[in-house]
Each structure stands twice: as structure tokens, then as C-alpha cells.
Amino acid sequence: MSYLYLALAIVAEVTATTFLKQSAGFTRLVPTLVMVTGYAISFFFLSLTLRTMPTGVAYAIWSGFGIVLITAIAWIWHGQKMDGPAIIGIAMIFAGVLVMNLFSKTTGH
């Protein structure tokens, strides 16, 4: 269940961060409400994850996948350009999360 909770936390955080930009500095009500709700849901599910998974591992996965997904959304929907070093950096973050999950004994399985 911890990975399901963590996945829900990641999706909620990515949604909230996407709406953070659309809130225009908290001046637009609906995007601001979606953002606040998303962050609350994200932290709720992250707290459930931490019942069975070490904090450092959960946070690394949560933030790593969040960075990768936010970058993809910014590229696809907001037209953000990425150069070679940025793509390599994102690939390294993704690879780091995979290494932790596939080879580390500290993931709380």
C-alpha cells in the first residue's frame, strides 16, 4: 500500500505545482483552490507512506518523480524548452529513483 499512497502523493503534488503557476500569485481563485487542495492531499498521502517507508527514501522518490513529471508537463503544455544538459539531468534523477527502488535494501519493502 505504501507505493500506492506514494503514487497518489506524487500525482497530487504534481497537480498542485501545475496549478501554482496558473494561480498567478494566488490572484486567481479556482487555480489557487486546486493548488492548496492538491498540496494538502499530497502531504496526507505522503504521511501515510511514511508509516512503512523510510523518510529519506520516500522523499527522494516523491521529489524525484515530481521533478520529472513537472518538467514533462512544462515542456508539453507550457512550451518550456530543454537543452541537452537539462535532459541529461532529468534522466539522472529518474535513474537515481530507479536505482533506489530496484537495488537498495532501504526502501522498506
- Any idea which residue has 536505482 for its cell? 99
pTM (two decimals): 0.85
Q: Is 66 helix (H, G, I), strand (E, B) or coil?
A: helix
Query: Please, what is the Cα angle at 24 between 7 and 84, to 5 degrees?
Result: 60
pLDDT, tens digit only, all 109 positions of the chain: 999 999 999 999 999 999 998 999 999 999 999 999 999 999 999 999 999 998 988 988 999 999 999 999 999 988 889 999 999 999 999 898 888 878 877 655 4
Residue 25: phi and psi, rounded to 5, are 70, 35
